[in-house]
Amino acid sequence: RRIVQIHELREQAAPPVLIMEYVDGFELGRLAPSLEAGQRARIVKEVCEAVQHAHDVGVQHRDLKPSNIMLDAELRPKILDFGLSSGDPARGHFRGTPHYLAPEQLDASQPIDARTDVYALGALLFHLLTGRPPFVSETLPDTLRQVLDDEPVSPRLLNPAVPVDLETICLKCLEKDPRRRYRSASEFAAELGRFLRGESILARPIG
Q: Is 157 helix (H, G, I), strand (E, B) or coil?
A: helix
**SS3 at position 162:** coil
Instruction: State the Cα–Cα distance between residues 117 and 56, nearest whole angstrom.
Output: 13
| Gap between the Cα atoms of 143 and 133, Å rounded | 11
Contacts of 137 (CB under 8 A, 6+ apart): 143, 145, 146
CA gap 165, 60 in Å, rounded: 27
Which is it for the CA torsion 145, 147, 148, 151, positive or negative?
Answer: positive
Q: DSSP code of 60?
A: B
Taking the CA atoms of residue 16, residue 21, residue 26 and residue 29 in that order, the dihedral angle to the nearest 10 degrees is -60
Annotated catalytic residues are 63
**Bridge partners (DSSP) listed for residue 78:** 70
CB 170 within 8 A of CB 127: no
